[in-house]
Chains A and B, each alone.
Chain A
């Protein structure tokens, strides 16, 4: 079966983001960008399904600025087969992204779409659910285990009180949680090989999607900061302090 894996270019996980002084957003100039970590897990899972012989082709898709091509190259170096880059300079909002992905899914007819449960920039956690809703497909969100055969995919999901298992008819959308797998690093030969793998270049208009944002960002501020309190030397002092603060009886 064919798998579609959407990947997003975001500020690297290890970068401490800074809010711009004019309050319009966070500083993105000269900041290291990487693939959204949850999407890396999605690419890895698709590759593992291919290694098991369940999957025959992996198509990586990215929607965003021209440099999102690098994110697709990363997926190709990990083991994806080809890429589709949808270039737009507008902010990429979940609904528009889901609409573009739905249009690509209709063209490519994958049996499975695997993507991260959320992107670590806007933390919206909605693209996968919207995509499955638009397509009328079932969804297995926050996956910690995926088992796919010809007609069904079984997904173990991380939920508030523990875990649950759902069985989905294919085609289906699955969103990844942290513990699904540990993504591999691309080897140097595979990075070289990825350079010759094909990437198709498209625009939102090619898919008939109006990507105009629906949410206006009025301002972005730093959260209120906590300040360090006091250090105590002994357990007795700690217990006394807690009593004074009324935290314990």
Chain B
């Protein structure tokens, strides 16, 4: 049994999602190797080689892999899979884009967004937006798996001393071209990595109010800033703020929901947070059924008060 993990990176930095994926791969038993497919990504390979539990890093450094186009990366992975029993990718937008294409090439069904490894061929995974958890057993010869990052501990970034081996694939398929990306730049922590998250809902009323009320609170807590689908659909913030079934799945130490009623699709994205705080004017809002601490009242007065008291407490 040996596993190949797809590294999540931006050609410079190895992303945390990779670390949880390495932990999951380790639970399958056997060696864990990491594939870094990118361009000018030596630093990522160096970082991956230091991760505890990794015994080899494969570096495919080619302009064709710079933007992780699945038409180019999937054939590379499929070619390497002759030597492995499992391909394990983080359930990020990139992992979800590439892994099923690998599965099709290997003629296996992907096991999506696993929450636990019960046995090397048996896993739990959420279905129906997390309203049910299925235990599934694969009968395929090889496994293709995506891993929900919040369900596994992150492997330590130090302690490993893996060798780095260059590999090459078929390069550019010529089928697709990367034209550009608009990435949200923020000094705040990324949602999937943040220890504290504050999220705003439709009750904030406008984009201006969202920023005016939520940003100082996020800054006071050093928190990542998220939003409900309703706030995103209303245009208050861009789509990558969305926490929920179809947005980001998060599980921080502290999740503060402001003006969010708690639609089931939102709860699916944050209910595994350690402590949940809800501030909402509707005493009957479903969010209070999952909140550890609830505060009923007008967010426009309560949140600025909270922000100033948090700042005062910091001195």
Contacts and interface: CB of A to CB of B under 8 A. Distances in A.
A183 to B, nearest CB: 14
A166 B101 contact: no
Nearest to A131: B104
Contact of B295 (A11, A124, A136, A235): A235
A232 B295 contact: yes
A197 B305 CA distance: 62
A201 B15 CA distance: 48
A239 B295 contact: no
Given A129-B100, A230-B293, A245-B275, A235 B309 contact: yes
A164 interface: yes
Interface stretch (A61-69, A76-84, A214-222): A214-222
Interface in B133-154: 133-140
B179 A130 contact: no
Contacts of A127: 100
B288 interface: yes
B52 interface: no
* Interface residue range, chain B: 35 or more
Contacts, number: 249
A215 B112 contact: no
Interface string B220-262: 0100000001001100001110000010100001100000000
A57 interface: no
A221 B180 CA distance: 43
Interface in A222-249: 222-223, 226, 228-236, 238-239, 241-242, 245, 247-249
Interface stretch (B23-31, B58-66, B88-96, B203-211): B88-96
5 contacts: A126-B103, A141-B96, A216-B137, A223-B126, A232-B294
Given A233-B295, A241-B293, A245-B292, 14 more contacts: A126-B96, A126-B109, A139-B71, A141-B96, A141-B97, A159-B94, A160-B248, A162-B182, A164-B180, A165-B178, A165-B181, A166-B69, A215-B139, A230-B292
Interface of A: 11, 16-17, 19, 26, 93-95, 98, 120-134, 136-142, 144, 154, 157-169, 177-179, 213-223, 226, 228-236, 238-239, 241-242, 245, 247-249
